[in-house]
Structure 1
Amino acid sequence: MKLNFLTDSRIKTALLSPVFVGMSAALLLGACGDKGAKAANVAVDGRTTYETATDHAMGSITAPITVVEYASLTCPHCATWSLSVFPEFQKKFIDTGKVRYVFREFPTPPVDLARAGHLLTNCAPEEKYFDLLHAQFRQQESIRTSSDIKGEFIKLAKSAGMSEADFDACMVNQEELDKLQAVIIGGANAGVTGTPMFFINGEISSNTFTIEQFDKAFAKALGEPIPEPSEKSDETEKSGH
């Protein structure tokens, strides 16, 4: 899908910029984590060991676990996790100080549509980032099938206090294009092959999607006993799609 309000030449230029090259390396290190510091989710300058300067995060910086999610606004499984699992994930792990949660963009087909959505969230005020992200997941299908996709995005932009002019400027903002492309390359180099994909304290966590699966993964990361399966275990589809 080609969206005429996105200037692809700007995006190609972004790949060649010095800023992009430097940020790609930094984001790769952030995604993989520090192999020598797995036991400590150390907070430095308001961020944990596994975060980068451009990350969007929620939760305590002193949490023992940092979860980095790579996801796409056009990925149905990502929307399912965001709408069906994340509310409980936030209540059980983030709000209790157990987990620091980081979201990183990894656009999937239709890539132009995903890219536009992620650019919008990144251009919005920081305090609106996650609200706008989840709003797009809720409206994923209606945006994809709309006869006026730009109009749908402008409505979302206005809900975050942005104008149509702000949206238009965002779509060709070279700095934001550089940042987004750097996150994509950093994720690919770190081993991201599908979405949603989760890293727990710098390590890829395969087959992690449900709350019960996260419970087990967190126990393993902290060297604690693995919880027994719950009778209410939900066989929700796994990640990597």
Structure 2
Amino acid sequence: MTRTLAAAALAFALMAGGGLWLSQSTGTAPAELPTGAANAQAAEVDTSTIQEMVLGNEEAEVEVIEYASFTCPHCATFHQNVYGDLKANYIDTDKIKFTYREVYFDKYGMWASMIARCEPSKFFGIADLIYKGQSDWVRAGADGAIADELRKIGLIAGIDNDKLESCLTDGDKLRTLVAWYQENATADDVQSTPTFIIDGQKYSNMNYADFSAILDEKLGE
């Protein structure tokens, strides 16, 4: 099974206050915006500032776009069992262009994304750490404990504490990321995670054998 997306407006309402809470020291629950206000803000956000996270050959004829959530267990399983072979055989060999786009089910996935994007050059390495430790950090307890576990991942990746705090409390970046997610999910009709757009066609979660068969057909191999 894959995880099904909630309505985009609801996702934005859940996310909008998340980063603001991280700037507080009280450990209280994050604030939430009313759905109408969330939609109005999303419509006004310039998402062109968001960097696409890309590996492989930028000029490749075949592009794979993965839509995934850092809190999605099926996405973690894909990254543990399939992604390594995909990277070794198709990404690192420059056969394809691989683009990773985050999906936000909840504030914890949003916070994980803010950590992963804190230093773009380390994004994929941090993403690996987030997925590997997913079963631990998502069950850390209260919001503050989960945030602290994500901070630890950033520290392990070599990001200093001051920079981590700056990334986690960047409300403008948070709102822009959520608006960017909404645009992408709408354009590609993403209803669940993980979802893959391969050479313009949408596919659901799959094993490596099925994935490689599709890629070989697209590549004419």
Class of the TM-score when normalised by the shorter of the 2 chains: 0.7 to 0.9
Give the structure 2 partner of residue 199 of structure 1. 197
1:216 to partner: Cα distance: 2.6
Change (3 A) 1:188 1:18: closer
Give the structure 2 partner of residue 94 of structure 1. 91
| Paired residue type of 2:189 | G
Change (3 A) 1:134 1:14: farther
Among the aligned pairs, what percent are the same residue?
A: 24
2:154 aligned residue (130, 142, 157): 157
Query: Deviations 1:12-62 (Å, cap 9, x if unpaired)?
Result: 877516662x43xx7xxxxxxxxxxxxxxxxxxxxxxxxx96200111123
2:174 aligned residue (173, 177, 194): 177
| Paired residue type of 2:200 | G
- TM normalised by structure 2 equals 0.75
Query: Deviations 1:56-89 (Å, cap 9, x if unpaired)?
Result: 0111123221100000011000000111111111
The secondary structure found in structure 2 opposite 1:145 is coil
Distance of 1:178 and 1:132 partners within structure 2: 21
Q: Quick check: 2:90–2:96 contact (8 Å CA) kept in 1? A: yes
Is 1:78 matched up with 2:78?
no
Q: CA RMSD in A?
A: 2.9
Change (3 A) 1:18 1:186: closer
| Paired residue type of 1:198 | F
| Paired residue type of 1:5 | L
Structure 2 gaps of 5+ residues are 1-13, 24-29
Structure 1 gaps of 5+ residues are 27-51, 226-241
1:63 aligned residue (44, 60, 81): 60
1:127 aligned residue (106, 118, 121): 121
| Paired residue type of 1:113 | Y
Query: Deviations 1:155-213 (Å, cap 9, x if unpaired)?
Result: 1121233233322322231342133112320233120001000001232124x522221
Distance of 1:53 and 1:117 partners within structure 2: 16
Change (3 A) 1:53 1:114: closer
Distance of 2:209 and 2:34 partners within structure 1: 40
